Amino acid sequence: MAFNLKGRSLLTLKDYTPQEIRYLLDIAKQVKAERKAGIVHQRFLGKTIALIFEKRSTRTRCAFETAFGEEGGHPVFLSTDDIQLGAKESIEDTARVLGRMFDAIEFRGFNQSTVEALAKYSGVPVYNGLTDEYHPTQVLADLMTIEEEFGYLKGTKLAFVGDGRNNMANTLAVGCAKMGMDYVINSPKELWPSEEYIKEIKDMAKENGGSFMITDVPGEGLEGAHAVYTDVWASMGEESKQKEREMLLRPFQVNDEMMKKTKRSDTIFLHCLPAVKGQEVTYEVIEGKQSRVWDEAENRKHTIKAVMIATIL
């Protein structure tokens, strides 16, 4: 089923219905098949996108630039050294200027309020390439990878092991709840999301036929998981907390023993990358036969292209 998403921003997956997320994943599947078959389109010919980066990136930057460029568009990379964002010029004024010159804007940085202000004042679609709260384009790629592996999403189970209140745990919770999946956060209590967020996700999951569980017992809740997911122990901007996080999270390292707790032979391992091999995940797991992190990384490009096609054209 087609949806008219033209002009829509992607700030958080909370703003999209399960049917709209399904639509984006279907477009992603189509453009990936086109890419593999060597079919070239120029859907963004004559269009431009501003890519604003407060935080460094490999996958997000490369995915946006190649996805837009392959379709004939012109991406313009802007770091905080290049523009006045929030420095000599307010975010609102920057948004108004960029909205007059570009067809869309991507933002990757710290505050969710920044990407929301860009969307409010620019008048063009704005995409959240990562904030401290949410990482929606990554989770679209994660959902696509799980569906490629198992053929379906509703009824699959994903377990996130590690820092349970970071942007990945937050956004995976939304993505799984929207798509009727069973989601588990396996994390020390000190790193749990707020009670309000836990209730919100439980209600969302129940509404769509999924479930949500949170536990601080290492490995608990992993039985039956189709995918086990982890992320770095200290997110960007939290490097000073690295030692503290290592103490808290060492029992939650994803290793062979942790993977075996799913009691499934077909469980896959996922990670948004970059990974610190030997910390949150062992070398054997991320480089082993259960790992799908490279498929997942590639799918960033196809899902991002799908979002832009759906909201720009």
Predicted confidence (pLDDT) per residue in 89-146, tens digit: 999 999 999 999 999 999 999 999 999 999 999 999 999 999 999 999 999 999 999 9
pLDDT band with cut points at 50, 70 and 90 for residue 242: confident
* Strand extents, DSSP E, 19-68: 48-53
Helices (runs of H) and strands (runs of E) counted in the chain: 11, 9
The per-residue pLDDT for 80 is: 85
Instruction: Catalogue the active-site residues.
Output: 108, 135, 138, 231, 272, 300
- Please report whether residue 5 resides in a domain: no
CATH number of domain containing 62: 3.40.50.1370
Give the CA angle between residues 66, 178, 296 to the nearest 5°: 35
231 in a labelled binding site: yes
The per-residue pLDDT for 234 is: 86
**Exposure string for 168-179, b = 16+ CB within 10 A, e = fewer:** bbbbbbbbbbbb
Same domain, 146 and 283: yes
Q: Are 172 and 197 in contact (CB under 8 A)?
A: no
Same domain, 143 and 260: yes
Same domain, 146 and 268: yes
Q: Would the pLDDT of 83 be above 90? A: no
Same domain, 148 and 113: no
242 in a labelled binding site: no
- Please report whether residue 7 resides in a domain: no
Q: Would the pLDDT of 212 be above 80? A: yes
Boundaries of domain holding 23: 13-134+299-312
Count Cβ atoms below 10 Å from residue 210 Cβ, excluding itself: 25
What's the average model confidence in pLDDT over 200-209?
Answer: 98
- Round to whole Å and give the CA distance between 76 and 144: 27
Same domain, 237 and 145: yes
Count Cβ atoms below 10 Å from residue 7 Cβ, excluding itself: 11
Same domain, 266 and 118: no
Distances, alpha carbon 230 to alpha carbons 161, 179, 183, 208, 280, in Å: 5, 20, 13, 24, 7
Same domain, 74 and 151: no
Same domain, 127 and 257: no
Same domain, 127 and 66: yes
What's the average model confidence in pLDDT over 175-192?
Answer: 98
Distances, alpha carbon 75 to alpha carbons 7, 36, 44, 67, in Å: 18, 22, 10, 9
pLDDT band with cut points at 50, 70 and 90 for residue 216: very high
Same domain, 175 and 305: no
58 in a labelled binding site: yes
The per-residue pLDDT for 305 is: 98
What is the DSSP secondary structure assignment for residue 281, as one 8-state letter?
B
- Please report whether residue 1 resides in a domain: no
Same domain, 158 and 193: yes
The per-residue pLDDT for 237 is: 75
108 in a labelled binding site: yes
- Round to whole Å and give the CA distance between 276 and 283: 9
258 in a labelled binding site: no
Q: Would the pLDDT of 248 be above 80? A: yes
Count Cβ atoms below 10 Å from residue 289 Cβ, excluding itself: 8
Q: Would the pLDDT of 26 be above 80? A: yes
- Round to whole Å and give the CA distance between 239 and 143: 28
Mean pLDDT of the chain: 96
Same domain, 20 and 158: no
Q: How many domains does the chain have?
A: 2
Give the CA angle between residues 280, 235, 293 to the nearest 5°: 50
What's the average model confidence in pLDDT over 45-54?
Answer: 97
